[in-house]
Amino acid sequence: MIEAVDTIDASAIARGIRAEARRLGFDLAGIAPADPSKYADHFRRWMAEGNAGTMQWLTKRTEERCDPRVYFPGTRSIICVAMNYHVTLQERSDSEGSGRIARYALGDDYHEVIKGKMHRLADWLQKAAPGTRTRCGVDTAPIMERELAARAGIGWIGKNTCVIHPRVGSWILLGEVLTTLDLPSDEPIADHCGSCSRCIDACPTGAIEKAYHLDARKCISYLTIEHRGELDERKQASIGDWLFGCDICQDVCPFNRRAPEANEPAFQPRFADGTVDLMETLSWRPNEFNPRLSGSAMKRVKLPILQRNARSILQRKSGAREIALHEWDTKSRARRVLSE
């Protein structure tokens, strides 16, 4: 069922959505039309060229990814929200024996934090406009969420392919509510990257091959989270001291220079300096790993992957091959996980 727009004050509903989003703790909110992606052909070429690496899930449900109306029939508008997760970290106490963690994974799992708020926003909308159908998405839905966020005025897609807001920067996590209600859309924000190339120049692996084009296979986040199998010498050198994810292209962005601190308590870091002791990571067992990272996005990567990364960092730093290979070839469980 699609609502009769003449019975609903769509502008008032849109204002109410933004107010409710702020009340729920979202830092940014906007509304985008549910149009097909203008990057559909580019996405298909990007995939065909192998830029997604082993992330085969991206090859599935392509028609839905390229058109939100296919994903959720009847969709007319998409409410896009963003939460700031930037936190200032303490100075590292041990740069040699520790591995760095991307900021988004330092607090509680953002999927769960944002999902709950998204469902409350959808509940509000259904009460404000009875008969409206909604579907929520947080990162894992088959939609082009960065493009939608840009359409909704959340920010522009930067040269590092992150969404950047002129005040908040790129330390933002996205969520969407697809709705059958026809709502007035927000104006997109102009691209302010200009001639800046700091993210491209700073990327140690050359993953940002050119402005707005990322080869995921070279990205440290991909190598430490998505890549299955062992890391050869080249890949070990590529990840540097990153145990999980990477923030380099965001750290150098001028729009992050004065990024505000996150207001959400759940995003406060469980590791104050943003690092984990590598030898401690190697000592974890499944029964210790689960409670240690309970509620963290890091739990989405299995323990053998984290330990593979820790071994690679230590091997590169010390040349201690016995550390890198310790119990590795003898653990069939680890080999199975790495090949999945």
- Residue 254 has, within 13 A of its CA and on its CB side, a CA count of 9
The β-bridge partners of 136 are 177
DSSP label of 77:
E
Structure tokens at 33: 């039309």
User: What does residue 178 show for φ and ψ, rounded to 5 degrees?
Assistant: -85, 135
- Contacting residues for 292 by C-beta, under 8 A, at least 6 apart: 284
Of 35, 67, 139, 251, catalytic: 139
Q: Which helix (H) or strand (E) holds 312?
A: helix 303-318
How far is the C-alpha of 156 from the C-alpha of 143, rounded, in Å?
17
Contact 297, 225 (CB under 8 A): no
139 is catalytic: yes
How far is the C-alpha of 247 from the C-alpha of 270, rounded, in Å?
17
Nearest to 82 by CA among 146, 138, 29: 29
Contact 249, 211 (CB under 8 A): no
Structure tokens at 7: 């019975």
How far is the C-alpha of 17 from the C-alpha of 176, rounded, in Å?
12
Structure tokens at 181: 């209600």
CA 175 distance to own-chain centroid: 10
Q: What is the largest CA-CA distance in the chain?
A: 72
How far is the C-alpha of 78 from the C-alpha of 148, rounded, in Å?
8
User: What does residue 135 show for φ and ψ, rounded to 5 degrees?
Assistant: -145, 135
**Any idea which residues carry the catalytic annotation?**
139
